[in-house]
Chains A and B, each alone.
Chain A
Amino acid sequence: MLRYLLEKEFKQFWRSKAMIRTVLFLPFTSLIIYPLVASFDIRNVKLSIVDNDKGMYSQQLIEKARSSGYFRITDVSGNYRQALKSIESNKADIILEIPLNFERELVRNGQADLMVSANAVNGNKGGLGTAYLNQIISDFNTGIRTRLQQNPDEPIIPSMEILPLYRYNPSLDYKVFMIPALIIMMLTQMIGFLPAMNIVGEKERGTIEQMNVTSVKKFTFILAKLIPFWVAGYLVLTIGILIAFFLWKLVPVGFIGTIFIFASIFILAFSGFGLVISNYASTVQQAMFMMFFFVMTFIFMSGLYTPVANMPEAAQWFSNLSPLKYIIEVLRLIYLKGSSFLQLLPQFLALCGFAIFFNTWAVLSYKKSD
């Protein structure tokens, strides 16, 4: 019986132009466009310079900021008030004000003040921009310090330099962190929304009634629905991994087979969830809204954008209910750190739990009679 149902599902799947488009289009937008835009790297901060000193040192400092790659000097103002105007008109994000006699103070007294003031409407940009600028100023500081050491006999003022070693993502590339998670997000859209539309779509078209009046087993019917999504999920995942490799040069440090093992459980779990939604919804539109709600919640709770450890305790507890949390963790760990299957056993068991729970629910909530 399963064989005939599968024939039907696969034929319908590949005949639907919308499906084919989704399978092809989704990985490309998700993994070509999202990594470019979903980035917390702050670059091209618009810097406004108020140079009251116009000395050699201030020129050096400005040049250093410019060449760092983080800043674009978009405005040079005569005074602070004018600079503030360019922040208001969005021409600048951060003002660096160099006071009059900056160089003289520095040489004579060994210290001088600078003012950095940032537009914090976008707190992230303001905060990180200021931090970059501080880093540049402190570099500059160390540089001139050695030069200003006038008496060679005088002991060098000790200074500490921190050279962090970033394990697993040495260049702190945000894309490397995001792409494994984006692969999962794309997979989630595909294998969550399509099953959610499926059974309810048959309800709307009336075809489910003809099915319900046969002696088809509920389990067989649900299984026949799941398997095509499973195949489609694998396909999309493979395309995703290939794009990550060819476009972003991202190769998992760990064993690629582990990714597929985990993905197969995740796909099963999440398609099952989609089918549950489909069973309860009475129109496709309803199913879409419900699915949208849950996917958004799951994504925000999963640690995709914000680390789970940063959340309040209650939210951390809730994040355990998001199947996405486990699979995103797993993909990041395999891609970046090279974790082995055994190290990921807790996540594996959690995903298996979700798969059993959602699919049992899907079978039970599919009613052949009212």
Chain B
Amino acid sequence: MNVIIAKNLTKTFGDFMAVDHISFEVKKGEIFGFLGANGAGKTTAMRMLCGLSKPTFGMGQVAGFDIVKQSENVKACIGYMSQRFALYEDLKVWENLRLYGGIYGLRNAQINRKIDEMLNRLGFQAEKNTMVSALPLGWKQKLAFTAAIFHDPKIVFLDEPTGGVDPAARRQFWELIYDTADRGITVFVTTHYMDEAEYCNRVSIMVDGRIDALDSPKALKEKFQVSNMEEVFFQLAGKAKRKDS
């Protein structure tokens, strides 16, 4: 079953075609890697799927809802973690979780139980009352992820979730991602790290707004006859005409 369907999805800003007629599907429960160089159009494509940006052309469905006409329905069943840390720094850890739980319509008792459950799973209970501004980056990102999946969405969109954190924190973060996928939540993730691409069930590689390759990491390596995803990426991204922005 496909939980994300994109058909000829396009976004232009003036003359600039940020996303150029991309089509793909994501299956339920998959970890789908969305790769590409800076400025290739990953974030724009993801924002369209989340209902944050309206496509110029083409159509998309997320969790069975049209991303243009039913964007509010889409929003109710997805989680999103933006590239830039977007939780409230002047709220405490539990207050941020409570806020997003409340917005997605969870009940008070449910929220309280869930906060403890999630913080225990993260080993983060001691920081429950810490002001978010006081957390180190790695923890902030784990918290942002927790907030994004707090309401048990069908799909979670992660935009470069591990940017700027150390390898140990990245590994822990991917454990969280696997854990989430095991619970049946589809994970749509963009990344720059090719070792992370290896962890995905399938990956797509965007070059200049188009999807130039889409398959499992294993199949892609075979196709390009290389030993790792990094080589695949270099071969494809090397063809890019667009300047790194």
CB of A209 closer than 8 Å to a CB of B: yes
Q: Which of B52, B82, B102 contacts A1 (CB 8 A)?
A: B102
Pair A8/B88 contact, Cβ less than 8 Å = yes
Interface residue ranges of B61-114 to A (CB < 8 Å): 71-73, 75-76, 78, 80, 82, 84-91, 95, 98-105
CB contacts (< 8 Å) of B60 on chain A: these are none
Interface residue ranges of A1-41 to B (CB < 8 Å): 1, 3-5, 7-8, 11-12, 15-16
CB contacts (< 8 Å) of B125 on chain A: these are none
Pair A3/B102 contact, Cβ less than 8 Å = yes
Pair A11/B91 contact, Cβ less than 8 Å = yes
CB of A370 closer than 8 Å to a CB of B: yes
Q: Which of B84, B86, B103 contacts A216 (CB 8 A)?
A: B103
Interface residue ranges of A66-107 to B (CB < 8 Å): none
CB of A369 closer than 8 Å to a CB of B: yes
Distance, CA A356 to CA B180, complexed state (A): 45
Pair B99/A5 contact, Cβ less than 8 Å = yes
B236 to chain A, nearest CB (A): 29
Residue among A5, A8, A12, A213 with most chain B CB within 10 A: A213
CB contacts (< 8 Å) of B102 on chain A: these are 1, 3-5, 7
CB contacts (< 8 Å) of A214 on chain B: these are 75, 100, 103-104
CB contacts (< 8 Å) of A370 on chain B: these are 52-54
Interface on chain A toward B: helix, strand, loop, or mixed SS? helix
Contact with A along B36-59 (1 / 0, CB 8 A): 000000000000001111100000
Q: Which of A16, A210, A215, A369 contacts B76 (CB 8 A)?
A: A215
Pair A215/B53 contact, Cβ less than 8 Å = no
CB of A206 closer than 8 Å to a CB of B: yes
CB contacts (< 8 Å) of B89 on chain A: these are 205
CB contacts (< 8 Å) of B80 on chain A: these are 210, 213
Distance, CA A4 to CA B105, complexed state (A): 10
Pair B91/A12 contact, Cβ less than 8 Å = yes
CB of A198 closer than 8 Å to a CB of B: no
CB of A368 closer than 8 Å to a CB of B: yes
Pair B86/A209 contact, Cβ less than 8 Å = yes
Distance, CA A288 to CA B78, complexed state (A): 35
Interface residues of A (CB under 8 A from B): 1, 3-5, 7-8, 11-12, 15-16, 205-207, 209-216, 368-370
| A-B contact sample (19 more), CB < 8 A, given A7-B99, A12-B90, A206-B85 | A3-B102, A4-B103, A5-B99, A8-B91, A8-B99, A12-B91, A205-B86, A207-B87, A209-B84, A210-B80, A210-B82, A210-B147, A213-B75, A213-B80, A215-B76, A215-B103, A369-B51, A369-B52, A370-B54
9 A-B pairs with C-beta separation under 8 A: A3-B102, A4-B98, A4-B101, A4-B103, A15-B90, A210-B100, A212-B52, A213-B78, A369-B54
